Chains A and B, each alone.
Chain A
């Protein structure tokens, strides 16, 4: 490293070795911070650094950024990792001391992502180094201290639960409702002649007969988006619902899952783990507000604003799993649920409270949300899950009609 700072940037091959080493370590740090960086990217980075002939910290930064960052949300993690990594190694700083009067990146307010990067980078360091760094990161650790930071520890699944989940999975491999796409596929009773296949088939007979082949519209299940309430009042159900969503994610493509209590968390990637225990542990680790309060309106708001346009395309069905007991009591909830309803194909509200015999839609939050949902269904055991799957298959029966519940209390 020391050798590197002696000249502007290494082109000689002995320097190259050190540079490669550092990039490998940096890539490892990025991986630990949650940016998926493969060995191919390391080679790309070395090639890019050579190609760019980097002279300043800014160019160095953006060159590595161009190669390692493949998603906008990783940008912030990269920024933190870059600053911590290259400061600790005194690497770019020495370089800069010769080239620039000061570092071009000004100190900034605490940023999201700092905690994750910090944990990833300093997990294995000895206490002395840790102490030095803690002074700087004190302020950043307090980003979310006002919320109930309760990490829920999932117990291992019991054998009976595994059996039940497997049982549910068997029933879930039923065909889901299919929607027509614009794409065409070979079809025995299709409406369009597939000239390409027709011609090939005719070629077999030397072109004397023209054997017509057809194509018709292709169908596929629409995307599914699940919004799961993990607040205190739902805590006894959230775990089994996560299992349910894991099974759904496993059984079909295009399932996005979001958890919300006081804030919204996207756990789609965590649920892609094959093993249910790993998947649930990953979810638990990703969510800071387990079993806290509920802010349905603000969670829906952030979903509508940040995610709706990204996951609700191509006719998505939304499963909203919540008891509807809202703490905030203003009129933003109606606005947000209305927007959600208008931007998806079908909005299905699954409410575990419906299991109680005498349930009536009296709570304010429930009354506000009911007019905007297409279906209102119970979900509290495997049987109700099976009913739900059946309703996703055909286009809903009378039992899920939300207006019936509103008429009851009117």
Chain B
């Protein structure tokens, strides 16, 4: 995996799941189906879910395992065409005009044609994604689309439906081979139906205990078996609590890593209380678990683990 080389697209749902597993991304069957369909049908994938469940990771893993280039567009409020699609290199254009004048060139049509050519075009992520690449069409990650405003979604409609971009001065740029498009959203606002209609939708939820355990083992190899079981058991129990923000998989991995750094062999209430800030990011949630609540949860997890043995 050090030297990514282009690979053909997976030929079945099983192959898709296996491909992701190579890069230690353990997908469930439903995610595998959606990814396979998206690759096969050439449609964008729209991934929605809570923060920290591995939405962005899917795009990275896809690019890594398929040996494709990853082009990432991080969305933010006020993102516009100049930052997302293309911009003209105005300084170079000005110089070109002056030079042309100095050389006595006064044919305005010719001047305009020269100035608005590809030479003066600065390509931003969306336009880059439509270009030919020796490794095959790139993976385009449009991250956290809910952070931009509605106006930006409209730019995307043309790109996602026909994989083309219209530049008024030049004409239409169309991708010879459509890129693999992955769009993620944390659902801080509803994305317009017109955009969703063009995509295959998937809700990325929290994993089951078995799958989460497998993820922890794959991603944090140094952690002891007993500790990893307790960590996953505790996080799963925590998600059933009435919290404002339940911990995601990313938090589980952080916590497992933190505990193994601290050389903890097994969970005890004091360690859990001290490291709770890794899992919970709201003071109200941490306050809710103060006192005997942590011990109670931990005892419950431990007795369940004993029963399972």
Contact = CB atoms under 8 A, between A and B. Distances in A.
A66 B34 contact: yes
A62 B33 contact: yes
B197 A38 contact: yes
A165 interface: no
A314 B151 CA distance: 14
Interface in B6-36: 12-13, 29-30, 33-34, 36
The A interface, classified by DSSP as helix, strand, loop or mixed, is helix
A102 B193 CA distance: 37
Contact of A206 (B108, B201, B284): B108
Interface stretch (B129-137, B184-192, B249-257): B184-192
Contacts of B29: 58-59, 62
Nearest to B82: A196
A305 B243 CA distance: 9
Q: Which of A41, A66, A184 gathers most chain B CB within 10 Å? A: A66
A62 B197 contact: no
Contact of A305 (B90, B190, B244): B244
Interface stretch (A44-52, A242-250, A349-357): A44-52
B78 A59 contact: no
B108 A62 contact: no
B201 A196 contact: no
Interface residues of A, number: 41
Contacts of A311: 189
A219 to B, nearest CB: 13
Interface string A130-147: 000000000000000000
A203 to B, nearest CB: 6
A404 interface: no
A41 B199 CA distance: 10
A75 B48 CA distance: 13
B201 A66 contact: yes
Contacts of A40: 197
A59 B13 contact: yes
B202 interface: yes
A195 B90 contact: yes
A70 interface: yes
Nearest to A205: B108
B78 A181 contact: yes
B104 to A, nearest CB: 12
A47 B88 contact: no
B33 A207 contact: no
Interface residues of B, number: 48
B224 interface: no
Contacts of B187: 72, 309-310
Contacts of B12: 53
Interface in A214-259: 253
A47 B135 CA distance: 27
Given A72-B203, A207-B97, A309-B188, A196 B149 contact: no
B190 A310 contact: yes
B8 to A, nearest CB: 15
A69 B90 contact: no
Interface in A305-342: 305, 309-311, 313-314, 339
A48 B90 CA distance: 45
A338 to B, nearest CB: 10
B149 A183 contact: yes
A182 B108 CA distance: 36
B280 to A, nearest CB: 15
Interface in B130-160: 146, 149-151
A36 interface: yes
Interface string B25-68: 00001100110110011010010100000000000000000000
B128 to A, nearest CB: 20
A62 B82 CA distance: 38
A71 interface: yes
A314 B88 contact: no
B30 A47 contact: no
A266 to B, nearest CB: 11
B200 interface: yes
A120 interface: no
Contacts of A53: 12
A72 B185 CA distance: 12
Nearest to A195: B90
A310 B48 contact: no
Contact of B80 (A58, A71, A183, A309): A183
A229 B144 CA distance: 33
A314 B94 CA distance: 38
A67 to B, nearest CB: 7
Contact of A181 (B34, B37, B149): B149
Given A310-B189, A313-B189, A48 B37 contact: yes
Given A62-B30, A183-B151, A70 B112 contact: no
Contacts of A195: 90
Closest 5 pairs (CB-CB, A-B): A182-B78, A62-B33, A51-B40, A70-B196, A195-B90
Interface of A: 36, 38, 40-41, 44, 47-48, 51-53, 58-59, 62-63, 65-67, 69-72, 75, 181-184, 195-196, 199, 203, 206-207, 253, 304-305, 309-311, 313-314, 339
Given A72-B203, A183-B80, 4 more contacts: A47-B41, A72-B48, A181-B77, A309-B187
